[in-house]
Chains A and B, each alone.
Chain A
Amino acid sequence: MAPETGAEVVLRLDGITKRFGPLVANDAISVTLRKGEVIALLGENGAGKTTLMNILFGHYTADAGTVEVFGQPLPPGHPRAALAAGVGMVHQHFTLADNLTVLENILLGTRPLLAPRLDAREARARVARLSRDFGLAVHPDARVGALSVGERQRVEILKALYRDARILILDEPTAVLTPQETSALFETLRKAVAQGLSVIFISHKLGEVIEISSRVLVLRHGRLVGEVATADTDRHRLAEMMVGAEIAAPRLSERAPGPAFLTLTGVDTPRRGNAPGLKGVTLALRAGQITGLAGVSGNGQAALAALIGGLETPAKGSMELHGARPADWSPRAALTGGIARIPEDRHRTGSVADFTLTENAVLESYAGPPYSRRGWMNWRAADDFARRIIETYDVRCPGPAARIRLLSGGNMQKLILGRALEAGPRIILANQPVRGLDIGAVTFVQNRLIAARDAGAAVLLISEDLDEVMALSDVIHVIYEGRLSPAFPRGTMTPAGLGGWMAGHGFEREHTRGGADAA
């Protein structure tokens, strides 16, 4: 997919600037897109990728700059105008109504609102044709609420194609997909490009950008810092452009595993709402070892984290902590048993937004000395503790008395990490510890986890990012519909191999239907 330099320019963004208060989200960004090419917009969280595309699509109005589609200026601030001009956008958070069927979602907004009837016959045939041509299998009468994430994304793409989109914008489309679904998506994109569509692919995943795009535009802090032909670059150089500095990959030294601190044997937990429970899970977390848990989100990761964090008890099977079955299992018991938790959602369960850094620092330990005695808080000790974390973990903040709400995600996570690690835990439950962090913070958190492992802690790393799991884990399990794969030692599995397990291949046959679809 070489860039066709001679091809017609279909889209031209010129000098786009957008401010949110004091923050310059886009600083005079110019982009051209030609017919039949895939360009990638690469950048960290907050680099301004999504803002730029939302301006193009009319969700936001730019403070300065112009948008031209097929040589015509696009009036700002109107998604309808963008749609009419042939721009289709697949948002990171899908814009589908769960209570409607696939066909209804596709039809939404395509007819005059006051049309007397909704004639779906012709639309149905067209959707079927598009599904076939672009490899987007999905049942037109299925309720969107019942579809898997991969299927929903197909509906979003169908929606754009149904409206004759000639320019397709995909915002972080692979964040929620299995490797198999991602390759199916790329297949679809290649078909689209072959038919003369142009694609803007927004991502922060380097491998995917290199695989699918012909040109890469790198954004950093709202500025376009580089534009290169994909053929002339590599992962390493792209990563450095993205971060603006040299980066070192985390290194795992050889280390013999120690005794098992926590073992699960044949554990079942009940289903909670839409989240599956565990089914016959057997797992050992060993001293000096990082156990990686890969899997598509919603396959039982939450149940396992709840179990180890003390929020859930086994309905069946047994759990042993430091060689003994815990008498009663609760978050308090988990803490006193030496389990430190880095929760999946740092905003909701990891911190209290309107509490200060000090208060958040002692959130798990305030009930006893040194932070309280006989029911009275010792704020001086708590403040000292917060200060220690701020210093050792490089938390950038106004001070321990600041509310944690004001901190960036990375700094908030460093405080939570410090709170967990300073207690000297023997078991660390790290659930999506680097999700949404920029590369600097990612490296910091990962290196701290590795240091804890080297010091003899047992780490459970739950992540949806397969690259992260493979880079950091001594052994890897895949979780699928509450079931656990065998343990794969470091270096014995390929991404494709693990991807197969993530899609349910390899698990006992009767348990592999439904849920995540293996396209």
Chain B
Amino acid sequence: MEILDILLTASFWAAAVRIASPLIFATLGELICERAGVLNLGIEGIMVIGAFTGWMTVYLGFGLWTGVLVAMLAGMLFGLLHATLTVPFGLSQHVVGLGVTLLATATAAFAYRLSLPEVTSPPKIVPFQPLPVPGLSELPLVGPAFFAQTPLTYLAFALVVVVSVVLYRTPLGLALRAAGENPASVEAQGLSVTAIRMGAVIVGSGLMAIGGAFLTMSAFSSFFFEMVNGRGWICIALVVFGAWRPGKAALGALLFAAFDALQVRLQQTPMGAVVPYQVFLMVPYILSILALVLMSRRAEVPAALMVPFNKGER
């Protein structure tokens, strides 16, 4: 019964939406990369870089939106590195991706120590504040749950629509999807597979970094080394869960976030006194794995995912 009570509170849904937001940014970013045929395992590190640079920018006295922009640019820079190595050079996407994650994570730690050598606990910034949507936020239950969020959350959900429209309704989206399925089809139409794939990885990495920045600038108000905590890997699973479709992937992110929000609340119920809290922590992951198994059976992987394209190869 406690579960039902929790599910009917606005704060539960508000938390789910908030937890889902960074996942949505990063999942969309990964989805764009993979639709173009590049698996971007740099995601975890790029989120760390985004979280650090966004927070640092604001800490140095710039505006919040400037922070988001800087985070995105930093992510795109690592995206450029990843894209250069995997697309024109055709190196292993696994190795490059993990390399980028290690490099980006270490760079963030290094820059943190360099800029704040004396600090024991990281300084706080004033993060994005909730921005209730006039009218809609007054609705019972739904209002406080969905329409009293921070601007970055609204941006995340707006991006789901934008990415869908671009993928399915524009020539660019067509070329992107074709590049991930059969790059030869793109090449034969006189378009550059290299340009499309690199562009996708760079833009996708920018989105991942905004996902990371959400953590320091909207969810929390400070930067910790462990704060991304595997969210990037979750997003890679969410892309599969969503069968490479933005809408379904965002739904998956919400589902995962809801499990996460639920387990925190369950810990505070009488049940939490009996069951070790680690069990609750496991719940979202176990349920995600189950959902993944069920959902991704019939998913169609982009046929050229992880297949480098070399023009003129015999």
Contacts and interface: CB of A to CB of B under 8 A. Distances in A.
Interface of A: 20, 54, 57-61, 78-84, 89, 91, 93, 95-100, 104-105, 107-118
A45 B123 CA distance: 70
Contact of A97 (B171, B173, B185): B185
A74 to B, nearest CB: 13
26 contacts: A54-B312, A79-B188, A79-B190, A80-B191, A81-B190, A83-B190, A93-B184, A96-B185, A97-B177, A98-B182, A99-B181, A99-B302, A100-B178, A104-B174, A105-B178, A108-B171, A108-B174, A108-B178, A109-B175, A109-B189, A110-B171, A113-B171, A113-B191, A115-B171, A115-B172, A118-B173
Contacts of A105: 178, 185
Contacts of B175: 108-109, 113
Interface string B249-266: 000000000000000000
Contact of B186 (A93, A109, A111): A109
A118 B178 CA distance: 15
Given A79-B189, A83-B190, A111 B171 contact: yes
Contacts of A118: 169-171, 173-174
A93 B187 CA distance: 13
Contacts of A117: 169-170
A1 to B, nearest CB: 28
A60 B312 CA distance: 6
A95 B190 contact: no
Given A80-B190, A97-B182, 13 more contacts: A60-B312, A79-B187, A89-B188, A93-B184, A95-B188, A98-B303, A99-B302, A107-B171, A108-B175, A109-B186, A112-B171, A113-B175, A117-B170
For the complex of A and B, list the 7 residue pairs with the smallest distance between their C-beta atoms, beginning with the closest: A80-B190, A109-B189, A95-B188, A97-B181, A97-B178, A111-B171, A95-B185
B253 to A, nearest CB: 23
A95 B184 contact: yes
A247 to B, nearest CB: 28
Contacts of B300: 99
The binding surface of chain A is classed by DSSP as loop
Contact of A108 (B186, B312, B314): B186
B184 A98 contact: no
Interface string B270-307: 00000000000000000000000000000010110000
B113 interface: no
Nearest to B301: A99
Interface centre among A81, A89, A96 (most CB of B within 10 A): A96
Interface of B: 169-175, 177-178, 181-182, 184-191, 300, 302-303, 311-312, 314
A114 B172 contact: yes
A160 B50 CA distance: 45
A498 to B, nearest CB: 33
A320 B175 CA distance: 54
A472 to B, nearest CB: 31
Contacts of A100: 174, 177-178, 181
Contacts of A84: 190
A104 B182 CA distance: 13
B84 to A, nearest CB: 21
Contacts of B174: 100, 104, 107-108, 118
B99 to A, nearest CB: 28
Interface centre among B188, B302, B314 (most CB of A within 10 A): B188
Contact of A95 (B171, B182, B311): B182
A114 B189 CA distance: 16
Contacts of A112: 171
A112 B175 CA distance: 11
Contacts of B188: 57, 79, 89, 91, 95
Contacts of B314: 20
B182 A113 contact: no
A273 B300 CA distance: 14
B190 A109 contact: yes
B32 to A, nearest CB: 15
